[in-house]
Structure 1
Amino acid sequence: MRVRNIPRRARRVWSGLLQRSGLPTRRFARTLRTAAGRPGDRAHLLVAAPGAGNIGDQAMLEAFVAAADRPVTIVTRHDDDFVLPPDLAPRARTVALPNLLYGDGVQHRGDVRALGGLLGEAATVSIIGADIMDGVYSLRPSVRRSTIAAVTAELGFDTTVIGFSWSPAAPAPAREALRRAGAAGARLLLRDPASAARVRDLGAAGVHETADIVFTDERVAVDLPPELAALPRPYALVNASGLIARTVDHGVEYAGLVADLRARGIHVVLLPHVLRDSADDRAACRTVRDAVGADGVTLVEGMLSPSVIRRLAGEAEIVVTGRMHLAVMSLAQGVPAVTLASQGKVEGLMRLFDWPQLCVAPRPGMSADIRAVVADVLSDAGSRERVRLGTERARERARVNIDRIGAGGGAVRADSSGGSIDGRATT
């Protein structure tokens, strides 16, 4: 262990012990109760996922705003974590509370009180759950999200934790915080059958089995960005996950897949889905391009909007991805998505489609499994119909995420932003 890492590890251990004591959670809840107003009727309040370069987080946020029947107040960590497209921007405002979920001390308490002030105009309170409720990635923000749900439900707010996954490895403080939220009256919307079963096994109240909120948003871009409009057809979308790249060499594992697709005359589009330093898909996709060469390959370098992802996925022959929300958006367009499974959330998604074979375990040596599944899908004349039936089931279940906020689902309309949040594609 490096000497300079010792203080950081000590602080982490102390923080974990303090969190497990429950004292910070009680203080958080007490401060929020004191600051909160009475339920209002002017806006929906949404505590967003981290965003900041994650297209899946962007897609969940857009699905919520697209469905809302009144203005949305979005609580984020930073002002620039999300950029709403022109068709949605007038319908929402962003309030950055950087210390609400991640901070300490005076600044944290100030942000908790600021959240309480925002509640006075809230007809509903919603928290994007995704894969950040169970404490596996980061315990303290997970516990705080559940605590917000518990306190607002206790105070009479119509409170929902929007479609989320739950890991069997969730630590005890996260489990207890979620139980408190359910007991207080918050609706806990689990986005796959496996996660719903795990949370029921915790003894939590308020559990509803649903599907990911992104299935409710059917907005598709009218046009692709100029750099992608002339893609050779047919093509496949292939995503290399920066998270999985920590343990798996995509250059090695995807080389055979790219060769198989080229042999079928299918162009390969390497598509990053999370573009941030902590788990950068762009770097992982570059590794694949460098390993296989640029012939018959397009590398997307920038962050595309969800509506453009839907358009791009809808015209693909097949999708291979290490990111679940790229799978969701592809399946929603009727396109099979072979998905590297992690934390049980992907297995649960594919149970909605009665197609567990679309899940592949991310590990060294996974190449043969991926190639076999891709070959089976491409040779199955009924694969699109199978996906279509699964999408109908998923969309119907996903509407539970938005039935309290009014509009019943996002209308099919174009994102007129030009399609790219930032960046470009290179061939």
Structure 2
Amino acid sequence: MKLRRIPKRVQKELRGLVDRVGHTRRRFGALVEASVGSPGASHHVLVAPPGAGNIGDQAMVEAFVAAADKPVTIITRTDNDFRLPVDLADQATIQALPNLFYGQGSAHERDVRALGRVLTGAATVSIIGADIMDGVYTLRPSIRRATLAASAARRGFDTTVIGFSWNGAAPRPAWDALRAAGQAGARLLLRDPESARRVREAGIVGVVETADIVFTDDRLASALPDVAASLPRPYALVNASGLIARTVDQVPEYALLIEELRSRGLHVVLLPHVIRATADDLSACRGVAASVGGAGVTLIEEMLAPSVIRTLADAATVTITGRMHLAVMSLSRGVPAVTVATQGKVEGLMRLFDWPQLCVAPRRGMGEEMVAVVRSILDSDDSRARVERGLVRARGAARANIERIGAGASG
């Protein structure tokens, strides 16, 4: 019986069973290893995260390409997931393989063979792990990413899973796939101390404790778009996450925060960080803007480039965000970033900065906690110096993400 004739709920259960018993990992690994040739020195291969409206994903890809000493082939799901800026466009090409991690049947096998052709002759193979390796969001693509790392390493490629987080509640098949990657010789770069501890304590080898790759990229925008070019100073960057909005009514919490910021003489810049249907920050930010009124508030309604975000952060007094990569880009400019923490990845990040109070749990009443932390930041003469001390540690740790691809190693 063809799988497409089975009801969708039953299909999902069958796929889950296939994943749990290890068939997905074994089948995908065999297909990859049968399709790929030998390593070489002509190019780097980067397996990108989903992108498609996520500034954090865009920032990770750009950081990799900016550091590379050879042409980069970027594996994506669609041709439109990423748009490289002018200064990086000549250094990389995009190869869309829509069925590689998410597909099935003959279309999936066709994309695996295409991947094999891309890998053949590569100097390195890198997979951006971010928060999609542990299977908490979607299991099968996570298993396939880790299995790709294992297969490439077994075929002799210099293979790295770049700075990723690991949830303690990860499903067992994701643990098994990651363990196989480490045993095969892939380097597993966990991007925060807590994630590294979890994976090490599970007995998985190949672990390197690092920091997010975005800490390696300091490129600023040469010019700002009109909406950001004439912001009143001083200002605070504020992000409301569409993901958190699914479970928490953030509007009254952010209204309390914005009242505090405005009372301190800070203009508020509402800044979406992910703009896509599945978890839309723009809708969340619009809801906050409608609640607090327009006085002293600017709502950004477009997806800005990472270099623009860094430039805006550079002039900010403080950042409050529900998205980790806005925190990373703010911290990388020496700006304290209060972050609504999900999945444990933010707690680990703030341990690098020895400032756990910068994490706020997403819950009813979190507005009062955000206000308290912002007050402590604004009332302290040591806030920026404290961030700078942590930034030295973060930058040093983050270099592990790029030391195998050339230019970053000697920079």
- TM-score class, shorter-chain normalisation, is over 0.9
Q: Give the 3-state SS of the residue equivalent to 2:39 in structure 1.
A: coil
In 2, Cα distance between the equivalents of 1:216 and 1:409?
11
Cα distance in 2, alignment partners of residues 409 and 347 from structure 1: 28
In structure 2, what residue type is equivalent to 1:308?
V
1:346-385 correspondence runs (5 A): 346-385=346-385
Matched residues in 2 for 1:135 and 1:227: separation? Answer: 38
Give the equivalent residue in structure 1 for 2:299: 299
Offset, 1:180: 0.1
> Which digits, 9 at most, give the CA deviation of each residue in 1:294-341, with x for residues without a partner?
111100000000000000011001000000000000000000000001
One-letter amino acid of the counterpart of residue 112, structure 2: V
Residues 409/79 of structure 1: CA separation in 2 closer, same or farther (3 Å cut): farther
Which consecutive unaligned segments of at least 5 residues does structure 2 have? 1-5
1:178-257 equivalence runs, <5 A:
178-257=178-257
1:344 equivalenced with 2:344 (yes/no): yes
Q: Distance in 1 between matches of 2:317 and 2:165?
A: 28
Partner of 1:414: none
Does the CA contact (< 8 Å) of 1:66 and 1:409 recur in 2? no
Q: How do 1:52-67 and structure 2 match up within 5 A?
A: 52-67=52-67
CA offsets 1:100-142 (integer angstroms, 9 cap, x no match): 0000000001101111111112100000000000000000000
SS for the counterpart of 2:44 is strand
Distance 2:410 2:374 in 1: 31
Question: Using the alignment, how far apart are the partners of 1:74 and 1:36 within structure 2?
Answer: 17
Q: Following the alignment from structure 1 to structure 2, what is the Cα–Cα distance between the partners of residues 205 and 237?
A: 40
Give the Cα–Cα distance (whole angstroms) in 2 for the partners of residues 329 and 52 of structure 1: 19
Name the residue aligned to 1:82: 82
Name 2:398's counterpart in structure 1: 398
Alignment gaps of 5+ in structure 1: 1-5, 412-427
Alpha-carbon separation, structure 2, partners of 1:250 and 1:304: 23
CA distance in 1, matches of 2:335, 2:92: 31
Root mean square deviation, CA, Å: 1.2
Of structures 1 and 2, the one scoring higher in RCO (CA 8 A, sep 6+) is 1
**2:132 maps to what in 1?**
132
Contact 2:239 2:273 in 1 (8 A): yes
Residues 8-60 of structure 1 deviation map (CA, whole Å, 9 limit, x = unaligned): 33322221111112112211111111110100111000000000000000000
Q: Which residue of 2 aligns with 1:109?
A: 109
Distance 2:214 2:190 in 1: 13
Amino-acid identity (%): 66
Partners of 1:374 and 1:264 in 2: how far apart?
Answer: 10
- Match of 1:144, SS state, is helix
SS at match of 1:276: coil
Q: Residue 311 of structure 2 aligns with which residue?
A: 311
State how far apart, in whole Å, the 2-side matches of 1:181 and 1:389 are. Answer: 34
> Aligned residue pairs: how many?
406
Runs of 4 or more, structure 1, over 6 Å off, are none
SS at match of 2:20: helix
- Is the 2:48–2:127 Cα contact (8 Å) retained in structure 1? yes
1:33-182 alignment, distance < 5 Å: 33-182=33-182
Tell me by how many angstroms 1:222 deviates: 2.3
* SS of residue paired to 1:129: strand
Q: Which residue of 2 aligns with 1:420?
A: none
Normalising by structure 2, we get a TM-score of 0.97
Equivalents in 2 of 1:132, 1:183: separation in Å? 20
> 1:264-289, CA deviations, whole angstroms, 9 ceiling, x for partnerless residues?
11100000000000000000000000
Residue identity matched to 1:181: A
Quick one: which amino acid aligns to residue 263 of structure 2?
Answer: A
